[in-house]
Homo-oligomer: A and B are copies of this chain.
Amino acid sequence: MNGAQERPLRADAARNRARLLDAATEVFTTRGIATPTEEIARAAGVGVGTLFRHFPTKEALLEAVMVRRLEEIATTTAQLAADAERPDGDSGDGSDGSGNGGAFFAAFRVVVDRSAGKDEFTRALAAAGVDAHAALHASGTAIREHLARLLAAAQRAGAVRREVGLAELFALLVGTTTAVEQLQDDPAARERVFTVVFDGLRPH
């Protein structure tokens, strides 16, 4: 959709952009998305003007933070998806009667772990009238694709029930993230949440 507007970007400008993104990620996560723009500029060690040169809107900054997170996650899921599709993908001999879908469940965990705090951004964007799904299409679909492939592979291997579709997989991903966020101080309970969800995903 937008493939021609990425200019090389001067060295210092690129450095500032990165700093801003880091600072924003940190600040939004710890102090909430209502934190004043100026705070973020300060945390990044630049002036507000610079911030607005890079991100014409606070919303745009929010979006960029989210995109970067998703891109990072996408990198990991891509790796896992690739592994899962190798001849002897997943793991073991495939004779495992329960199937196993190791890569699929590993990816599920990665997404959940990396998404901590993410849905606050989604909500914020939604509240701001942005269609997050559309805005994040570019990198969002990368994950979507990888997950689709992982899901298909896991279903083929009999590790995941056939009726589960991509839509509810996404919903479950988000939901599990939220659930897990509530249990930050209770790792055992956290683990039991994964157990429930994963068992629920297996064929019955």
Q: Which A residues form the contact surface with B (CB < 8 A)? A: 32-34, 119-120, 123, 127, 161, 163-165, 167-168, 170-172, 174-180, 182-183, 186, 189-190, 192-193, 195-201, 204
Tell me the smallest distance from the CB of A52 to a CB of chain B, in Å. 14
Bound state CA distance, A139 and B168, in angstroms?
A: 32
B197 near A168 with CB under 8 A, answer: no
Tell me the smallest distance from the CB of A33 to a CB of chain B, in Å. 8
Tell me the smallest distance from the CB of A12 to a CB of chain B, in Å. 15
Given contacts A34-B127, A198-B200, contact A189 B168 (CB under 8 A): yes
Residue in B168, B172, B178 whose CB lies within 8 Å of A119: B178
A-B complex: 5 closest residue pairs judged by Cβ atoms: A200-B200, A175-B179, A196-B200, A175-B175, A171-B179
